[in-house]
Amino acid sequence: MCERRNIASDAFDGAVAWAGLPAHVQARIGAAAVELGVAMALSEHARMPACRAGDEAVERAGELLREAVVGYDGVPEGSWWEGTADAGTFRIPSVVGMVCHACGCSHLDPCPDGCGWASDNLCTACAPGAGVEAAAPLPAGSVVVDGVTRHEPELSETEARAIVRGACRAVSTSELARPVEPVGSHLRELARAIDGMGGEDGDGR
């Protein structure tokens, strides 16, 4: 974890920034982005000597794109960073998703030893006490999908039993269970046991 945090609370929104650029800047950025995309494809798929030229094109097109985006008439500096390089805060591009403001890890770039989310801007490795066990519990009915917390309707006990029972029966009779028949038998037994947990809910099958 870094001693000083320099990540802004708001992400950089490329769509908003693009909409505010004049047409000639959009054209310059678009041309550089297209050339960079083609250069990356050549570098990945082509054999020599095209591969070598593609590698060079990636570097050159990347430089052109950077200059077009953050050059003198590109995206205003204030839209992606404030202050100075040593004491400023930077808005991370929204494409990354959730980012830990303490260490800079993200959903697709977790800490070396693994981590989860203690909050929207703090990973469990940097949370007080560290470790995954330090993660704050999710509110009832909430799930995390691709690093984003979503609220799902809370199921009643009857609905939950019905879903598990149906899943057990579906898997036990599917092609997946045939190579390991004992698994299918155990799942059918589990489905019957769930039926017995609430006689009023069982369908008797």
pLDDT digits (tens, 9 = 90+) for 49-101: 999 999 999 999 999 999 999 988 889 888 888 776 566 789 999 999 999 99
CA distance 205 to 167: 14
Cα(76)–Cα(23) distance, integer angstroms: 15
Query: CB under 8 Å to 64, separation ≥6 — which residues?
Result: 32, 35, 36
Q: Report pLDDT for 160.
A: 66
Distance of CA 201 to the CA centre of its chain: 39
Q: Classify burial at 42, counting beta carbons within 10 Å of its beta carbon; exposed 0-12, middle 13-18, buried 19 or more.
A: middle
Give residue 84's pLDDT.
Answer: 65
Structure tokens at 24: 């000639």
Q: Which of 96-105, 155-164, 186-195 has the highest mean predicted lDDT (pLDDT)?
A: 96-105
Per-residue pLDDT reduced to its tens digit, 117-146: 999 899 999 987 654 443 445 566 665 555
What are the Cα distances from residue 58, in Å, to 13, 30, 34, 78?
Answer: 24, 15, 11, 28
Q: Give the mean pLDDT of the chain.
A: 77
Give residue for tokens 């083609």. Answer: 38
Please name the residue that has the structure tokens 């959903």. Answer: 107
Closest CA to 21 of 81, 96, 59, 72: 72
CA–CA distance, 68 with 28 (Å, rounded to integer)? 6
* Percentage of residues in the chain having pLDDT higher than 90: 39
More confident residue, 205 or 22: 22
Give 14's pLDDT tier (boundaries 50, 70, 90): very high
- Output the CA torsion 70→34→43→12 (10° steps): 40
pTM above 0.85, yes or no: no
